[in-house]
Structure 1
Amino acid sequence: MDVMEALLNEWLWREELWLPPGHHWEDMKMTEEEGHFPLPRDLIYTLPLVITFIFLRYIFERNIAIPLSRVLGVKDRIWIRPRSVPELEAFYKQNSRPSQVDQCGLSQRRIQTWFRRRRNADRPTNTKKFCEASWRFVFYLVAFITGINSLINTPWFWDQKECWTGYPKQPVAKVHYWYYMLELNFYLSLLLSLSVDVKRKDFKEQVVHHIATIVLISFSYCANYVRVGTLVMVIHDSSDFILELGKMLKYAAWTRTCDVLFVVFALVFLVTRLVVFPSRIIHTTLVASREFYEPFFGYYFFNALLFVLQGLHIYWAYLILCMIHRFVFKGKVEGDVRSDEESEADSNEEEEKPEEEGNDSSSEQRNDAVNSKLASVTVLKQETTNRRQKHRLDTLHRK
């Protein structure tokens, strides 16, 4: 144990990595009256909190999000799975697009149709997407309110130069410590759940964003960049909860309200990420901080992470501006800022054209059409039965 601690002190916790020149770990010790200095071992609660977040999300989605989706009228589209073709199924698991596949006695047109229906059958439901968005909405809203309440009376919230007064020996309040822990564990839980969540077209950017955010939060705490770190987190939360609320209403088909929220989100995002973030946060960490201490490794590493985030902000701002262009000229928002890669149905693809495939082809098409109608009729009958049962129960209850 002593050997491991010595290695950590020699390679990882070297003073020149974490403290400005002229400062030593001994200088950072504080009494109870002075407050608490952030230490790397404070992050030890990360693992149990991540598990708690995942468990809470499961409980929330099952007991709150799903019932709420029904109240708001979220509807799931029913897809008919294609008939079983073992050769195509084996190829589908490796590549969902029929680029090079043995025709298995089927025409290329029928193979494309099979793959299209197979992809549609695997698409996530609107209920699943609603549950994910509602969980993120609740967290971002709570985090934003918590951040504002904890920062509104601090001097560095109004004057960013105060982030560096007395640096690096700055005590950390308990509320800011827990604010850090909540944000860190939330993004860790998002990173762990990316493989099972709805995959979006900016999946790679999301991975980069989550990793950069986790490293940024962890490093800023260990290097005692807590003051500026709290500002970074509250700026991001200010627009994220609006985006998630807009997605929830989109899945519920509240089109007009969703369009209004998109305009609000776009304004908040563009102002906070392209104006406030670079002019206040990056400027104070890159320029104003040099008035209080000499640059060191932490200075360069922290600013590099902020520039990574700013690059992602510019990319997402481009997507938002494209959507604004479509909104102005078409009068509605199509999709969202980070569209679901697997949620866009293949119904927009070229419709099947009749071709001479023999009686098997036409028979299969007729069977598929009949199955589709039967599925729709079954759903309608089930809904009618449920309404009748509910009416009978209400009548008995009144009697």
Structure 2
Amino acid sequence: MEALLNEWLWQEEYWLPPGVRWQDIEVKEDEGRFPRPRDLIYTLPLAFAFIALRYVFERIIADPLSKRLGVKDRIWIRAASIPKLETFYKQSSRQPSQNEVVSLGKQCGLSQRKIQTWFRHRRNQDRPGNTKKFSEASWRFVFYVASFTAGLGSLFDTPWLWDHRECWRGYPKQPVAEAHYCYYVLEMGFYLSLLLCVSVDVKRKDFREQVIHHIATIFLIAFSYCANFVRVGTLVMLVHDSSDFLLESAKMFHYAGWRGQCDSLFVVFALVFLLTRLVVFPGRVVHATLVVSQEFFQPFFGYYFFNALLLVLQALHIFWAYLILRMVYKFMFLGKLERDERSDEESEVGDEEEEPEDEGDECSWEQRKGAINSKLASLANNCVLNNLTNQRNITSRLPKAR
């Protein structure tokens, strides 16, 4: 297996610039750590450790915190217990076609409207509550804050944070500090845990983009470490962490119903996101790897592959920036943030709206009649209508007075 890997995977032309061999970049132990692929093997058990830690965090810290902040879950109408529909829901489809609705109606002796209503109520039962969303957002918030703080602290004194040409000076013989190695392992382990939990987390409108983002990030971290693009890789991770914790904090306040704090944090997040992802990332990081690097070595396979992953991330940044600008437009012209356009909208949008029950249902008719009566009562109490009524009564009494 080792010989096969050396022959096909670890060929020097894939990982090193032309004219450089593996023995040319070997460093002594006292000179520092040189990146080895086997160093990343710790990320897999670390990902499972993150999943276990998240489970404990959400139940011990996030859930009690959500209650203290006033997070409330919406109560949905529970679907009636109908075994045939429940079996179809779990084994076949959550959204049956018209032909399937007709067939299920014949089997259960129900109208098509009642079949559709049952499935809508059943889907709403499975909708994640605000408490679950709050717990997920708080977990990511804690990690992003810790990651950004640790990354900034480890990079603040490095020359390549301020001068992007220092990313390539001496490449590829660049020893890696222990702090940067730990930074890499923690980030890759965390994104692996997000990818492993993507099927059980809240499914959002940008689900596919999130999966692509996680996969591209994992490949980017792993490849950049193996190819010793560590200096640029640390900058990429720092740029991403700088705005992510702001978004998660805005989500937490949104689920708690704190509109003012949510709107303020979202505006700050939008400014930081647009600055870091559309200005700093392409202007400094991508430019450093795409253009400046050619001053120090000739392009090779690793150069093209690494830049391709960076461009995939940049395309996702543009997509999310479009959604964020839509939100900013709504905030400026409508005065409030009605929904999170970036990643807080569930994929099944239309299920929240409750349609009226079948006309033959006496209970639902009584409910609708009561709602109509309450609306009429509120209109009767309206001051404008009262004034008009009083004026009409006065004019009707005038002829009698005469």
Amino acid of the residue matched to residue 316 of structure 1? W
Offset, 1:342: 5.7
- Does structure 1 conserve the Cα–Cα contact (< 8 Å) formed by 2:251 and 2:262? yes
Q: How do 1:118-157 residues align onto structure 2 when only pairs under 5 Å count? A: 118-157=122-161
Gaps (5+ residues) in structure 2? 370-402
Give SS of 1:333's match.
coil
Deviations, residues 246-279 of structure 1 (Å, cap 9, x unaligned):
0011010001110001100000001100111101
- Write out per-residue CA displacement over residues 66-124 of structure 1, whole angstroms, 9 at most, x where no aligned residue: 11111111111222311122332233233222422222322222222212211111111
Runs of 4+ in 1 over 6 A off after TM superposition: 364-369
The answer to whether the 8 A contact 2:232-2:285 is kept is yes
- Give the number of aligned pairs: 362
Residue 33 of structure 1 is matched in structure 2 by: 30
What is the CA–CA distance in structure 1 between the aligned matches of 2:320 and 2:124, rounded to whole Å? 27
2:221 paired residue among 217, 224, 228: 217
**Greater mean alpha carbon deviation, residues 75-84 or residues 23-32:** 75-84
Counterparts of 1:215 and 1:182, CA distance in 2: 15
| 2:314 is the counterpart of 1:300 | no
CA contact (8 A) 1:201 1:340 kept: yes
Q: Is contact 2:73-2:131 (8 Å) kept?
A: yes
Q: Which residue of 1 aligns with 2:384?
A: none
Secondary structure of the 2:297 match is coil
Deviation at 1:48, TM superposition (A): 1.8
Q: Deviations over 1:322-358 (max 9, x none)?
A: 1111112211112212123168673435x31662x3x
CA RMSD between the two structures: 2.0
Q: Does 1:52 align with 2:49?
A: yes
Q: Which amino acid aligns with 1:252?
A: A
- Deviations for 1:267-292, whole angstroms, at most 9, x for unmatched residues? 00011001111010110100000000
| C-alpha distance in 1 between matches for 2:357 and 2:63 | 39
Partner of 1:378: none
1:103-122 residue pairs with structure 2 within 5 A? 103=105, 104-122=108-126
Aligned partner (choices 335, 340, 343) of residue 338 of structure 1: 343
The 1:342–1:205 alpha-carbon spacing in structure 2 relative to 1, beyond 3 Å, is closer
Alignment of 1:61-140 (within 5 A): 61-93=58-90, 94-100=92-98, 101=101, 102=103, 103=105, 104-140=108-144
> Is the 2:144–2:241 Cα contact (8 Å) retained in structure 1?
yes
Please name the residue that 2:263 is paired with: 259
Structure 1 alignment gaps of length 5 or more: 370-399
Structure 2 counterpart of 1:208, from 209, 212, 222: 212
| 1:14 partner amino acid | Q
Compared with structure 1, are the counterparts of its residues 366 and 218 closer, same or farther at alpha carbon in structure 2 (3 Å cutoff)?
farther
| C-alpha distance in structure 2 between counterparts of 1:36 and 1:229, whole Å | 16
1:192-203 equivalent positions in 2, closer than 5 A: 192-203=196-207
AA paired with 2:334?
K
Kept after mapping to 1: 8 A contact 2:15/2:302: yes
Distance 1:301 1:33 in 2: 32
**Whole-Å separation in 2 of the counterparts to 1:141 and 1:147:** 10
Q: CA–CA distance in 1 between the matches of 2:165 and 2:249?
A: 34
TM-score, L = length of structure 2? 0.86
1:319 maps to which of 308, 316, 323: 323
Task: Calculate percent identity across the aligned residue pairs.
Answer: 67
CA distance in 2, matches of 1:343, 1:132: 19
How do 1:343-382 residues align onto structure 2 when only pairs under 5 Å count? 346-348=351-353, 351-352=355-356, 355=359, 357=360, 361-363=361-363
SS of 1:33 mapped into structure 2:
helix
Of residues 41-50 and 245-254 in structure 1, the stretch that sits farther from structure 2 once superposed is 41-50
Give TM-score scaled by structure 1 length. Answer: 0.87
Amino acid at match of 2:232: V
AA of the residue aligned to 1:198: V
In structure 2, the CA distance between the partners of 1:344 and 1:247, relative to structure 1 (3 Å rule), is farther
